[in-house]
Amino acid sequence: MRVAVTNILWAGSNGVIFSAKTEEGRPVVVRHGEPLKPAPGEIYDVTGAEREYVDERGGRRRQIEADSVERASAAGSLLGPWLRSLPGVGAERAGRLVERFGAGLIQALGDPAQSAELAEALAPGRPHLGSKLAALLQARWVAMRAAEATALDEGSFYARLEEYGVTDRRAARSIYRLLGSTNSWAKLLEHPYAVAAVLDWRAADHVGVRLLRARGDAVDPLRHRDRLIGACDAAWRAILAGGSTAADAEEYAMRLGRLDVDAGEALELGIAARRAIRVAGVLRAPGAARLERAVAGELARLAAAPAAIEEWPLLVRRHEPQTHPLTDEQRRAVVEILKRPVAILQGGAGTGKTTTVRVVVDAWLGAGGSIVLAALSGKAALRLSRSTGRLALTLARLLHGLERRAELESEGRPIPEDLPRIGPDTMLVVDESSMVDLATWRRVLARLPAGGRLVMVGDVAQLPPVGLGRVYHDLVEDGRLVSRLTRVMRQAEDNPIVAAAGLVRDGVVPTPPVYAGPERKGVFMVECPTGGIVEVVERLRAEMAGADGGDDVLVLAALNATCRGICKDMQEKREASGAPGARLGPLAPFVAVGDPVMATKNRYDEALMNGLLGRVESVDPAAIRFDGEEVARQVSRDALAELVSAWAITGHRAQGSEARRVIVALDGVQSMTREWLYTAITRATQQVVLVGAKSSLRAAVGRRTMRVTGFPFELAALERQETLK
């Protein structure tokens, strides 16, 4: 049936519910499991099963469980809801328009010559107001018809794509956005293997070959240049999924060979078509290369600032902590950092990065500068706040605040005092920098004005970011901006967690004692076969939660399957215990107050970042207190649907997090690396328990994390700072 939307009842990333009216004026509620974003007044063709239900007030309603919802052209009586949704029109004026023009209303709305008649119907006896309303109405009609044309093209595109075997609407939408919103099918026929950037190669090849045949090309589809170039896109899709932005030419050719194409010919065509950029034997992905060049360019801009001329050594002495004076290594690092417009502080666990950063901050403030502190995760931001005595923000909250400030400034509106500000005298310190991905660095650096300073603090022994690139690791390997802390501080020398992490970092397999309870500090192990890991982890977590009230235990695993299994078990146990709870979305079907959750996507406009942990503080309405934040807050429906239960998370997701006790499941031999294990161990402040086989522990220490990038150091012009060393 054809319906007009009257009100949006709920919309999220996993579906939509809206009220509507049929062409006969009958009200219905439509439920659809796709993330459609309708607006009041829009017209849709809906198919699906219709049933009657009784609402909370006892009224009877008709509801359609829609199989499909497709945009349609506005016409006839269904124009009413659209007219009523417009500002200044409303129900009474909409009724007068329908009564006055009847079936000719559509023609009148599109005809400037009928503006006077529309004005009289909208505001009888008030020509000035009527003219304004008529002009607004006709402008909105033109915009609505344009949006309709785009939506109808999109619907037609999906229908035709489905004929070629693409039934996943999310993938279809991605392909549509990739091609653009006009003449999409013609564009796809022109570039049939554009789908290889979205679909796996088997599906993309199936669609591409059929499109080539439909196009009537005389060339054998399996040897067609479009197919060979599409294989290049498919190879990049797999490489980028692992976080790399570039590939060794031999590895890239090997990936092409797996796609049943001539690797040499495909590579030659891909380079000619700019699907791969060859630089000194390394191939770079075009989109990622643009991001890397942008980040390098921003670093070059910042690095071009003149060197500071302060008497830094004297100032540093003045701000040293009296109880724990800096070592010569730390003091040298502080002075180097204060002199450089762009500086990197690299140090392993226990080497005194926190103390060094505190002195840098105090000295810069003492010289009259301003400071902004940030970290990837809430826990890391909280640690940075406590160590420096100044507020630190998550990068998501910082970016949200800076972008909001820029928006208000451009509109000439007042700026709230709590919004962050970065000026020419500001030093931005980013902790846990090794875990920040390429796209986030691009956003951060774009907000640093000329003269601003950047200090990256991190540890290259940890995992690279969850997202693309490894900017911090690349810069540390280059070495020109780096101040290194290598000596483990006296107070950390006897810390068994620091000692075990150091062994792993150096490629030595630790020999942890057998776990004997939650009271003891250090690194321990519970040996068990892989099939028994989940059971042991859940038992240990319950034991540790009893010791700590459940608020400071972190369970890490290598495999998503292990995390899903533990989360499912815990949710079922919580629900069976009678705890009042709610469904947040498909990734968190049941949560109760106190349950851990985690964001799975970056939403800078809501100060959320992939991997940010939090705890549920209420379920009706849902409110989450995220790590590093003092109070719980509500987030959008889409953001709620993207939260996942976090009874167990992968080691990659744990980057920047911290807990008193950490349980590490040694569950995925092929997924665990030295950097993964080092990151997992250093998440704990008091106790680590490794669960699994000793052979898995040895395998993890012996395997390195590999990620290839093409960061363009020659563009960054960082050699300017050589004289400052």
Tens digits of residue pLDDT in 544-559 = 987 765 568 999 999 9
What whole-number distance in Å separates Cα of residue 20 and Cα of residue 77?
13
Percent of the chain with pLDDT over 70: 95
What 85-88 contacts at long range (C-beta under 8 Å, 24+ apart), as own/partner pairs, is 85/39, 85/40, 85/41, 86/41, 86/136, 86/137, 86/140, 87/136, 88/132, 88/133, 88/136
pLDDT of residue 481: 92
Q: Which residues contact 391 (CB under 8 A, 6 or more apart)?
A: 373, 385
pLDDT at position 724 over 50: no
Tens digits of residue pLDDT in 302-330 = 988 876 656 777 777 778 887 778 899 99
CB-side exposure of 629: number of CA atoms within 13 Å?
A: 22
pLDDT of residue 489: 84
Tens digits of residue pLDDT in 591-649 = 999 999 999 888 888 888 888 899 999 998 899 999 888 899 999 888 898 999 999 99
At residue 490 the predicted structure's pLDDT band, cuts being 50, 70 and 90, is low
pLDDT at position 688 over 90: yes
Q: Which residues contact 290 (CB under 8 A, 6 or more apart)?
A: none
pLDDT at position 723 over 50: no
Residue keyed to tokens 């989109």: 287
As a whole number, mean pLDDT of residues 140-154 equals: 79
pLDDT at position 398 over 60: yes
| 130-134, 174-178, 205-209, 674-678: least confident range | 174-178
pLDDT at position 725 over 60: no
As a whole number, mean pLDDT of residues 380-390 equals: 90
Tens digits of residue pLDDT in 424-435 = 999 999 999 999
As a whole number, mean pLDDT of residues 476-493 equals: 87
Burial class (CB within 10 angstroms; exposed 0-12, middle 13-18, buried 19+) of 564: middle
Question: What residues are paired with 19 via a beta bridge?
Answer: 7, 29
pLDDT at position 200 over 60: yes
pLDDT at position 706 over 70: yes
As a whole number, mean pLDDT of residues 382-387 equals: 89
CB 685 within 8 A of CB 496: no
What whole-number distance in Å separates Cα of residue 305 and Cα of residue 307?
7
pLDDT of residue 352: 92
Higher pLDDT, 162 or 423: 423
pLDDT at position 124 over 70: yes
As a whole number, mean pLDDT of residues 549-571 equals: 90
| 256-265, 343-352, 653-662, 675-684: least confident range | 653-662
Question: What residues are paired with 7 via a beta bridge?
Answer: 19
What whole-number distance in Å separates Cα of residue 316 and Cα of residue 367?
10
Tens digits of residue pLDDT in 103-119 = 788 888 888 999 999 99
Q: Which residues contact 503 (CB under 8 A, 6 or more apart)?
A: 509, 510
| 15-29, 315-329, 670-684: least confident range | 315-329
CB 390 within 8 A of CB 528: no
At residue 146 the predicted structure's pLDDT band, cuts being 50, 70 and 90, is confident
Tens digits of residue pLDDT in 581-603 = 988 888 899 999 999 999 988 88
What whole-number distance in Å separates Cα of residue 414 and Cα of residue 723?
43
Compute, in degrees rounded to 10, the torsion defined by CA atoms 617, 619, 622, 626.
20
What whole-number distance in Å separates Cα of residue 5 and Cα of residue 78?
9
For the entire predicted model, the pTM comes to 0.79
pLDDT at position 364 over 50: yes
CA-based diameter of the chain, in Å?
91
CB 208 within 8 A of CB 196: yes
How confident is the prediction for the chain on average, in pLDDT? 88
Q: Which residues contact 506 (CB under 8 A, 6 or more apart)?
A: none
At residue 181 the predicted structure's pLDDT band, cuts being 50, 70 and 90, is low
CB 592 within 8 A of CB 580: yes
What whole-number distance in Å separates Cα of residue 64 and Cα of residue 249?
54
Question: What is the DSSP secondary structure assignment for residue 370, as one 8-state letter?
Answer: E
Tens digits of residue pLDDT in 207-266 = 999 999 888 887 888 899 999 999 999 999 999 999 999 999 999 999 999 999 999 999
At residue 392 the predicted structure's pLDDT band, cuts being 50, 70 and 90, is very high
At residue 721 the predicted structure's pLDDT band, cuts being 50, 70 and 90, is very low
Helix (H) or strand (E) holding 520: none
Higher pLDDT, 361 or 670: 361
pLDDT of residue 263: 95
